[in-house]
Every structure is written in C-alpha cells, then in structure tokens.
Amino acid sequence: MIDNILKNEEKAIFALRELYGKYGYKHFKMSKFEEYEFYIQNKDFLVSDRIIAFNDTSGKLLALKPDVTLSIIKTGEDINGFKQKVCYNENVYRVSENTHQFKEIMQTGVECIGDIGLYDIYEIIVMAAESLSLISDDFVLEVSHLGLLSSLLDNICKNSGFKQDAIKYISDKNAHDLARICDENGVSENCKKMLAEFVSIYGERNDVLQKLEAIGEYIDKDSINMLKTLSDMLDNLSLGGKIKFDFSAVSDMNYYNGIVFKGYVAGISQSVLSGGQYDNLLHKMGRRSGAIGFAIYLDMLHDLPSEKEKYDVDVLLLYNDCTDNKLLTSKMAEIIDSGNTVSAQNCDLGKIKYKELMDLRGGV
C-alpha cells in the first residue's frame, strides 16, 4: 500500500538504506552546515565553487553543504586494518548548470575508507549494481580504470596539455579530435592508431580485456591483471552481465585514481550513479588511508516513467445534496479498501485526472 503512495526517489531511499545495512554500512547523519572555509580549501573537488554562505549567530561564516564526501572524510581516522563503512542520505546545494540557480539535490551513497583492497572494490561495485537494480531492471554500470588510462597516455606523449585534452576526448568517445591532437603533438602513427582503437573498446568485460591485450605494450599489465581478477569475481554475480568496462567513464584525476564507474538507467538521460576510488583526495587532506564510494542522484529518478503520474486519482466520485449519505460513505470506503485512490467532488471541472468516474449525484 505504502508502495503506491511513495514517489520513485522516496521508495529508493528506503530500499537503498536497507541494502547498505546488509553490507554493514552504518547510517551517517551529518549537520546541514559546514564552515565555509572548509569548502574553500577543497573547492577543486566540488562540482561548482559557488556555495550558499551565511553568518551564524556568533558571526562565523557557514555554508550549506554542496558535498557530502568531504564531511565524511574529515571525521574519520586512519587505523591499520580498519575500514570505516558509512552510508548517507542527504540534501546538497549546488548551482544548476542549466538555470545557474541554486538547486537542492537529494543524494544517497556509501563511502568505504581505510585499507582498501580488491575485495572492497568488488563490494562497492556490487553494491552499486544492486542499487541500480533497485531503481530499474534496465541498467548499465560501466567501470573504468584511471591508472590504466593515465599510464597509457603518459607512455605515449609527455607534452604538457596532451594528457588533459586526450582524457577529455576519450571521455567524449571523440576519436577524430584525439587523432588531431596526436598529430599536433608528434605522436607516432602506431600510437595514434592504437589510441583510436582504445576509444572503440567498451562493452562486455571479457571482450574488452581481450582487445586490451591485443593493443599490447603501452597498456599497464598490473592494471589489466587487476581488471581481470575483478571481472572473474563479478562473473559469479547474477547482475554481472550488466557491469561493463568502458574507459570513457572518467573523473578528475587530481582526486580520483584506480577504479571509477558510472551507472545509467534506461529512461534517464544522464548517469544516476557515479563513484570510484579517491585516495588522492584523502592524501591531499593529510590522511594516509585509501577510499572508495559512490553517490546516487535521487532527483534524477523524477524522470523515470510512472504509470500513476498520468492520473491524480483512480476514481472521481461525484455526489450532491440528493446523494444518499450511506451510499456515499460505503462507496468511498469500498474504493479505498480495494487499494484505489478516490476524490469526492460535487462536479467534474476537468481539474482532476481520473481512470474511472463514479457519479452518485441524485436529480442530475
């Protein structure tokens, strides 16, 4: 019954929190505000540097949270052999790229901070896939390896600016401009061809791994082996077929390293889930631990098609002074008990969309 009332994103919050609890992730509740200075120190990590700031009663400059991960990192401590595993569901405040106005975004996610190993990466990817499956059966989780990408580009050309541009073009699957900057930077024909091949490699994991090996010497062997082991572990998973490799999924290398991933759901035009390893961010904040996590942008679930949004109610029940009260109350109770929604009105002015009309008006 509750399922009928809740919106897509509200249903997701409950289901996701239950899922993360199963893996031992503790719910982390944080304050709505942080000191403004904290975000200024780490502004490069934020999607936008525009932050809603205000003075508290003591005159201290505070900010409405534009990000959750930073707040979680600053609370933990580095303990050998221990992993802090937390999940959250918070609103963040960011400037919309389209309207250039501040927007409240509902975000849920998990963070695993500590001695991160292969199993932790696997666990997070599995949780990401299971999260997406709770939103829709039709999803794709694409996984990339920034270490592999970074070493490949370093091996090909060390000119300043090449790597940054190449990463942008790889993330756009833009082979033509990638070839152009190869020419501009004196990259050999062989390497240029190989990069063009690299851009076209994505999809089924085993297929990708085979093609990567065929590319040869410039691909970092340790990264391939890591991806192979991870892929073997994912093979045993019932959702494993929906987890693909795609090196166009990239994130800012100043903060992210190793595995990164993005999740897509059919019917939603942008990625709804984004995550990865962000050891570099922790190191910048003076911590020695590693970290991996992901966030789901729940506000995007509005775009999922919903049958019930076509109607305001299942039944529009019309009555007037001549309607028998007993009949009216019993019909209302009958409809509600059957699990349907009903609006009792005196006339149909076309303001309520309904599936069925029940006219109990007398003398009309």
By CB under 8 A, tell whether 123 contacts other proteins: no
Minimum Å gap between C-beta 306 and other proteins is 16
Helices assigned H by DSSP within 82-204: 118-135, 146-156, 162-171, 175-184, 189-199
Minimum Å gap between C-beta 103 and other proteins is 16
Which element (helix H / strand E) includes 176? helix 175-184
Binding mask 132-151 for other proteins (x = CB under 8 A): ------x-x-x---------
Phi, psi dihedrals of residue 70, rounded to the nearest 5°: -60, -40
Which element (helix H / strand E) includes 173? none
Phi, psi dihedrals of residue 246, rounded to the nearest 5°: -155, 115
Q: For other proteins, which is the closer residue by CB, 171 or 320? A: 171
Q: How far apart are CA 141 and CA 260, in angstroms?
A: 11
By CB under 8 A, tell whether 32 contacts other proteins: no
By CB under 8 A, tell whether 269 contacts other proteins: yes
Kindly indicate which of the ranges 72-80, 174-182, 282-290, 320-328 contains the residues binding other proteins, using the contact rule CB under 8 A: 174-182
Binding mask 194-233 for other proteins (x = CB under 8 A): ---------x------------------------------
Q: Is 216 left (phi over 0), alpha (psi -120 to 50) or beta?
A: left
Q: For other proteins, which is the closer residue by CB, 141 or 212? A: 141
| Nearest of 5, 125, 114, 92 to residue 298 by alpha carbon | 92
Kindly indicate which of the ranges 17-25, 185-193, 229-237, 259-267 contains the residues binding other proteins, using the contact rule CB under 8 A: 259-267
Kindly indicate which of the ranges 170-178, 225-233, 251-259, 305-313 contains the residues binding other proteins, using the contact rule CB under 8 A: 170-178
By CB under 8 A, tell whether 310 contacts other proteins: no
Select from 118, 214, 266, 347 the one that contacts other proteins (CB under 8 A). 266
Give the number of other Cβ atoms within 10 Å of residue 82's Cβ. Answer: 13
Kindly indicate which of the ranges 9-17, 168-176, 181-189, 211-219 contains the residues binding other proteins, using the contact rule CB under 8 A: 168-176
Angle formed at CA 113 by CA 239 and CA 290, multiple of 5 degrees: 100
Minimum Å gap between C-beta 244 and other proteins is 8
Kindly indicate which of the ranges 108-116, 190-198, 268-276, 324-332 contains the residues binding other proteins, using the contact rule CB under 8 A: 268-276
Q: How far apart are CA 191 and CA 159, in angstroms?
A: 15
Q: How far apart are CA 346 and CA 349, in angstroms?
A: 9
| Nearest of 222, 261, 228, 226 to residue 243 by alpha carbon | 261
By CB under 8 A, tell whether 184 contacts other proteins: no
**Contact by Cβ (8 Å): 287, 281:** no
Residues that bind other proteins (CB under 8 A): 138, 140, 142, 172-174, 176-177, 203, 248, 264-266, 268-271, 303
